[in-house]
Amino acid sequence: MQRLGVLTSGGDASGMNSCIRAVVRKAIYHGIEVIGIKRGYSGFIEADMGPMNLGSVADIIHRGGTILHTARSKRFMTPEGRALAMENVDRFGIQGLIVIGGDGSFTGASVFHQEHGIPVIGVPGTIDNDIAGTDYTIGFDTAVNNVVDAINKIRDTATSHERTFVIEVMGRNSGNIALSAGLAGGAESILIPEIAFNLEDICSKLLSGIKRGKLHSIILVAEGAASGIEVGKQIKELTGFDTKVTILGHLQRGGIPSAFDRILAARLGAKAVELLMEGETNKMVGVRSGEVVATSLDEVIGKPSSISQDMYQLAKVLSI
């Protein structure tokens, strides 16, 4: 392995820069050149790429987002688009590819490998923590901390005005952000797509809390479970409570990456380089029980991770 390419694809996640930094510095340490591909697969097709050196990744470990930028590319979903990308592989002498992203990004990498034979290694970078084969994805911890910070601030207002607040969080079809942030933030109820819920039961719980002197309540809703606006509307109709809704949106994604995400990203990025050096391909690096592991992309793609039932039950018990 003399030259590898690295790109970030899909949604941005805090910690991606730490991963890029690890890839570049680990590769250069072993005498391998690195080509940074900008704007994901879109830049791959359009040859928006160039060499990276130690200075390219200086002072980025603390920055959110990705210095390589990211985008989604419909052209790469076509054989013609992937053929154009392969022309740039040959043009730039790329002998291996590291893709930092989520399930869709890994699907593109796997298909590209199957069609053109270039070795590919995936690194899970998504705030949703919905990738099989790893306990954590880059960006998840930072996103959870962003949500908890918002809960803390909203709780001040909820207490002052004695109101019920519904907070909608991201996660697509996964409830991992809502569950972790809800447990850490002391939410009274957590609505996630993996577990059915009954709004009448939630309202009964709210009413019981009021009877025993509770001044406010926080209801956390994963976007894949329901609309925060609709939940707030129904709670107000069923209880008569002054209910406010906050949709956190994209502020969950950005910001200074947590120490956990920086360390995770560094470990996974370095391991990705090692796998390419060892001749491995079509693998994803992840962390399980604290150890960095490699899993076949075939075992990862289309197989989302599951939530912790124990954590969900604990959150219910502690929110009584």
Residue 304 lies in a domain: no
Check residue 179 and give left, alpha or beta (phi > 0: left; psi -120 to 50: alpha).
alpha
Residue 192 structural domain: 142-253
Is 63 found in the same domain as 183? Answer: no
Residue 211 pLDDT grade (very low, low, confident, very high; cuts 50, 70, 90): confident
The pLDDT value given to residue 116: 97
The answer to whether 155 is a known ligand-binding residue is yes
Is pLDDT at 43 greater than 90 in this prediction? yes
Phi, psi of 127 (to 5 degrees): -70, -15
The pLDDT value given to residue 72: 87
d(CA 242, CA 97) in angstroms, rounded, equals: 53
Is pLDDT at 248 greater than 90 in this prediction? yes
Is 146 found in the same domain as 129? Answer: no
The answer to whether 97 is a known ligand-binding residue is no
**Element holding 108 (H helix, E strand):** helix 103-116
The pLDDT value given to residue 28: 98
Over residues 80-94, the mean pLDDT reads 97
Residue 150 lies in a domain: yes
The answer to whether 288 is a known ligand-binding residue is no
Is 42 found in the same domain as 107? Answer: yes
Residue 305 lies in a domain: no
Contact call for residues 205 and 188 (beta carbons, < 8 A): yes
d(CA 17, CA 145) in angstroms, rounded, equals: 18
Query: Percent of the chain scored above 70 by pLDDT?
Result: 100
Contact call for residues 52 and 19 (beta carbons, < 8 A): no
Is 215 found in the same domain as 73? Answer: no
Instruction: Tell me which amino acid residue 123 is.
Output: V
Instruction: Tell me which amino acid residue 34 is.
Output: V
Is 216 found in the same domain as 114? Answer: no
Is pLDDT at 233 greater than 90 in this prediction? yes
> Which residues, 6 or more positions from 240, have their beta carbon under 8 angstroms from its beta carbon?
none
Is 23 found in the same domain as 105? Answer: yes
Provide the 10 A C-beta neighbour count for residue 297.
22
| CATH number (domain holding residue 211) | 3.40.50.460
Catalytic residue among 12, 128, 130, 261: 128
Residue 254, token pair as written in the block = 């950005």
- Mean pLDDT rounded to a whole number for the chain: 96
Contact call for residues 241 and 163 (beta carbons, < 8 A): yes
Residue 94 lies in a domain: yes
Is 214 found in the same domain as 187? Answer: yes
Is pLDDT at 95 greater than 90 in this prediction? yes
Is pLDDT at 210 greater than 90 in this prediction? no
Residue 320 pLDDT grade (very low, low, confident, very high; cuts 50, 70, 90): confident
pLDDT digits (tens, 9 = 90+) for 155-166: 999 999 989 999
Is pLDDT at 267 greater than 90 in this prediction? yes
Of 224, 253, 282, the position where a domain reaches its end is 253
The answer to whether 212 is a known ligand-binding residue is yes
Query: Percent of the chain scored above 90 by pLDDT?
Result: 94
The answer to whether 267 is a known ligand-binding residue is no
Residue 315 lies in a domain: no
Over residues 107-123, the mean pLDDT reads 98
Of 253, 285, 308, the position where a domain reaches its end is 253
Residue 64 lies in a domain: yes
The 10 Å CB-count burial string (b at 16+, else e) for 212-243 is: eeeebbbbbbbbbbbebeebbebbbebbebeb
The pLDDT value given to residue 263: 98
Is pLDDT at 19 greater than 90 in this prediction? yes
The answer to whether 163 is a known ligand-binding residue is yes
The pLDDT value given to residue 318: 94
Over residues 200-214, the mean pLDDT reads 90
The answer to whether 4 is a known ligand-binding residue is no
**How many C-alpha atoms does 75 have within 13 Å on its Cβ side?**
15
Is 161 found in the same domain as 85? Answer: no
The pLDDT value given to residue 219: 97
Is 265 found in the same domain as 244? Answer: no
Is 246 found in the same domain as 102? Answer: no
d(CA 110, CA 119) in angstroms, rounded, equals: 9
Residue 20 lies in a domain: yes
The answer to whether 113 is a known ligand-binding residue is no
How open is the CA angle 275-280-281, to the nearest 5 degrees? Answer: 110
Question: Sign of the CA dihedral 107, 109, 110, 116?
Answer: positive
pTM above 0.75, yes or no: yes
The answer to whether 133 is a known ligand-binding residue is no
Residue 213 pLDDT grade (very low, low, confident, very high; cuts 50, 70, 90): confident
Q: Count how many domains the chain has.
A: 2
Is 122 found in the same domain as 17? Answer: yes
Of 253, 288, 308, the position where a domain reaches its end is 253
Residue 215 pLDDT grade (very low, low, confident, very high; cuts 50, 70, 90): confident
Phi, psi of 167 (to 5 degrees): -120, 120
Residue 206 lies in a domain: yes
The answer to whether 122 is a known ligand-binding residue is no
Instruction: List the one residue out of 36, 27, 5, 289 whose CA is nearest residue 121.
Output: 5
Lowest pLDDT segment from 57-61, 134-138, 232-236, 303-307:
303-307
Is 276 found in the same domain as 217? Answer: no
Judge whether 141 counts as a catalytic residue: no
The pLDDT value given to residue 113: 98
| CATH number (domain holding residue 83) | 3.40.50.450
